Amino acid sequence: MSEQFEFGGEIVWRPTAEHIERANLTEFIRRHDLVDFNELMQRSTEDVAWYTDALLKFLKIEFYEPYTEVVDLSDGIQWPKWCVGGKMNIVHNCLDKYIGTQTESKIAYIWEGEQGETRQITYGELYYQTNQTANALRSLGLSKGDAIGIFMPMTPEIIVALLAIAKIGAIIVPLFSGYGLSAVVTRLNETDAKALFCADGFFRRGKLVLTKAIADKAAQRVPSLNKMIVLNRAGQEVEMTKGRDHWWHELIPAQETEADTEVTAAEDTLMVIYTSGTTGRPKGAVHTHCGFPIKATQDVAFGMDFHADEIIYWITDMGWMLGPWMVFGPLIMGGTGFLYDGALDYPGPDRLWSMIARHKINKLGLSPTLIRALMAHGEEPVGAHDLSSLRMVGSTGEPWNHKPWMWLFEIIGKGKIPIINYTGGTELAGGILMGNPLLPIKPTSFPGPCPGVAADVLDEDGKSVVNQVGELVIKTPWIGMTRGFWKDPIRYLKSYWSRWTDVWVHGDWAAVDSDGQWYVLGRSDDTIKVAGKRLGPAEVESILVEHTDVVEAAAIGVPHKIKGSQVIAFCVLQPQAEASDRLRDELCEKVAQAMGKPLTPGNVLFVSALPMTRNAKVMRRMIRAAYLGLELGDTSSLVNPEAVEEIKRVK
């Protein structure tokens, strides 16, 4: 990363008195006689036990047996034990406790399918369907501690399946709905999964995507897998293996509507959710009943300021951390979630905006990548719909560039709605940094860390720095942190705790400016070092996408005899733009003027798409590997493998 980073300029959004008064954070601060958010940050990171206890009470988390100690750090901060001695099940806090209250009749989720069909499910209906599904699982011989995979599209049944697995004390293994065979097999084999929820297929851009055949092939390669529950989502005839396969609509509705919720220890494993590393096999982050859901709900409540009278939609798949986040957070808060199963640009580029208007969505979460894509269609698709219900937009997945951030702020938010930038990861159960309704915002910035997260930026010598780019780190434990990687504690320690003593190194370049605004500039393992100068891809990419012809860009470093490395850039152009030597020269000159001649790209290549994960992160390591003819490594989270093949051809 270049030694000096040019920060985001002036503050463009400040909270109104209404934002501050309505905020969950304000209520929490007043409840504990704190002066302001700064005092909350200080106390929550200096006294983690106090804050965690206060958070659990604020979120009204109920225990069957109370914990005797909030956190036990006797094994080091890498291995904390939370809610020691406590007995609970997170499903009790999502559903059970609402039965017999006014919330029982409230809408828990609204769903829309790509073909236009819609459904609603109340808390009561979700409770009874979860009970039936839990009974179905038990009738198949499944019980506490068994790993069960979920390989389904985003329909209401996926919520039911996830909650039913947790209800019986089993282990949730979420999988991306678009995974290929090897990705499914790897995750199910590693967890010794005994059962799998899947679907016959789903629709994307009007085309049928069949998934049962993938599940069948996976079952042949996963010896432990002997039960499969199949949702008839697409109305397709599929092969069913007698004794192993069961149709959802035949097995589950026939079950009793009452079911016991398994009493689990607070630290019992709830979920193993996989995240791809830059090298090696995927990492199975282990999460517990008192861990992931608590951190996720904190961020829903404090960052997105979600209330029980609101509707929240974060664009996600269940295989991404934000999938379970969209289950636990809204339900624990007693509000309404929104699900969509389909492509956001089908049948037209206004699909997202039309759903916001039609369902009166209040809180929206998306990725910078999506906005860059929708910007290409101009303002007309936005203007055709009433977006007045929107109160806040969240963003995660990739660093922002200035132009698309401002487009979102001005065109979608009319300059009045805060953009809550959010960064963290699967291993954290949520965010390190996140905006909130109490703090002012600069373009592309994160106004501060999440409460309870002792974030810092360290230089190469491990010293805290301001107005300088360094490693994003965390210095104290937090309740949502992974309990290690599944069956691989050494890799967990090596991944996060090996650089500095008792410091979590997240692997992102970050910076804090003089006003206390934070910036994330990409993965530190994507760093390019040109003639001794460290350069982050986001710096080059932001310059390139400022050009009117460029929609998206990715920068990588490749070996150079003299400089050590040189920049190679890949650009996706606007539909009407033409790739040419002239445009290539313009883009190179634009970078040279902004960054200095030594950092001029060695080449700019034009491609139709950038390789991305299913959660919209650009796969720079894969771009680099394809360009240099190296091994691609783990490709399981790649959504568009054809983009990699194109890079191999254009070099």
Least confident stretch, 68-82, 510-524, 525-539, 617-631: 525-539
Q: Are 123 and 108 in contact (CB under 8 A)?
A: yes
Q: What Rg, from alpha-carbon coordinates, does the chain have?
A: 24
Instruction: Locate all alpha helices (DSSP H) within 260-347, ordered by sequence.
Output: 292-298, 322-333
Strands, E assignment, 355-491: 363-366, 392-395, 419-425, 430-434, 455-458, 470-474
Mean pLDDT along residues 57-62: 98
Q: Are 535 and 570 in contact (CB under 8 A)?
A: no
Torsion angle, alpha carbons of 397, 402, 403, 406, to 10: 90
As a whole number of angstroms, the distance between CA 410 and CA 259 comes to 49
As a whole number of angstroms, the distance between CA 396 and CA 508 comes to 14
Give the per-residue pLDDT at 181: 85
How many residues are recorded in the chain?
651
Q: Is the pLDDT of residue 532 over 60?
A: no
Tell me the C-alpha to C-alpha distance, in Å, between residue 338 and each of 150, 323, 418: 19, 11, 20
- Residue 89's contacts (CB-CB under 8 Å, 6 or more residues apart) are 64, 166, 167, 169, 261, 262, 263, 264, 289
Mean pLDDT along residues 547-575: 88
- 637 is written with which tokens? 């989270």
Sign of CA dihedral 403, 404, 409, 415: positive
Mean pLDDT along residues 467-473: 92
What DSSP designation does 393 have? E
As a whole number of angstroms, the distance between CA 158 and CA 529 comes to 45
Torsion angle, alpha carbons of 381, 384, 386, 388, to 10: 50
**pTM, to two decimals:** 0.87
All structural domains of the chain, each given as residue ranges with its CATH number in brackets, are: 17-89+276-453+476-489 (3.40.50.12780), 123-256 (3.40.50.980), 527-650 (3.30.300.30)
Mean pLDDT along residues 9-34: 96
Give the per-residue pLDDT at 434: 97
Continuous segment of H or E residues that includes residue 581:
helix 581-595
Give the per-residue pLDDT at 1: 40
- 143 is written with which tokens? 């019980």
Give the per-residue pLDDT at 522: 75
Phi, psi dihedral angles at 100 (to 5 degrees) = 90, 0
What DSSP designation does 255 have? S
Give the per-residue pLDDT at 650: 86
| Other beta carbons less than 10 A from residue 30's beta carbon | 9
As a whole number of angstroms, the distance between CA 471 and CA 534 comes to 13
Q: Is the pLDDT of residue 471 over 90?
A: yes
Give the per-residue pLDDT at 534: 62
3-state secondary structure of 141: coil
Q: Are 290 and 266 in contact (CB under 8 A)?
A: yes
Q: Is the pLDDT of residue 4 over 50?
A: no
Q: Mean pLDDT in the chain?
A: 93
Q: Is the pLDDT of residue 5 over 50?
A: no
Q: Could you report the per-residue pLDDT of 334-379, keeping only the tens digit for each? A: 999 999 999 999 999 999 999 999 999 999 999 988 998 899 899 9
As a whole number of angstroms, the distance between CA 608 and CA 573 comes to 7
As a whole number of angstroms, the distance between CA 293 and CA 297 comes to 6
> Burial code of 124-153, b = ≥16 C-beta within 10 A, e = fewer?
bbbbbbbbbbbbbbbebebeeebbbbbbbb
Sign of CA dihedral 264, 266, 268, 270: positive
Q: Is the pLDDT of residue 444 over 70?
A: yes
As a whole number of angstroms, the distance between CA 565 and CA 335 comes to 51
Give pairs for 349-352: CB < 8 Å, separation 24+. 349/374, 349/377, 349/381, 350/377, 350/381, 350/382, 350/384, 350/385, 352/315
Least confident stretch, 314-318, 326-330, 371-375, 488-492: 371-375
Q: Are 228 and 184 in contact (CB under 8 A)?
A: no
Mean pLDDT along residues 201-212: 93
Of 620 and 7, the one with more pLDDT = 620
What DSSP designation does 464 have? B
Strands, E assignment, 490-584: 504-512, 518-523, 528-530, 533-535, 550-560, 564-573
Strands 147-151 and 195-199 come out as parallel
Q: How confident is the model at residue 278 (pLDDT cuts 50, 70, 90)?
A: very low
Q: How confident is the model at residue 2 (pLDDT cuts 50, 70, 90)?
A: very low
Q: How far apart are the first and last CA of the chain?
A: 25
| Other beta carbons less than 10 A from residue 518's beta carbon | 24
Strands 147-151 and 171-174 come out as parallel
Short-list 507, 493, 510, 495, CA closest to 456: 510
Q: How confident is the model at residue 562 (pLDDT cuts 50, 70, 90)?
A: low
Sign of CA dihedral 286, 289, 290, 295: positive
Of all residues in the chain, the percent with pLDDT exceeding 70 is: 96
Q: How confident is the model at residue 276 (pLDDT cuts 50, 70, 90)?
A: low
DSSP assignment of 195-222 equals EEEEESEEEETTEEEE-HHHHHHHHHH-
Instruction: Locate all alpha helices (DSSP H) within 37-87, ordered by sequence.
Output: 37-46, 48-58
As a whole number of angstroms, the distance between CA 423 and CA 434 comes to 7
Q: How confident is the model at residue 6 (pLDDT cuts 50, 70, 90)?
A: low
What DSSP designation does 525 have? G
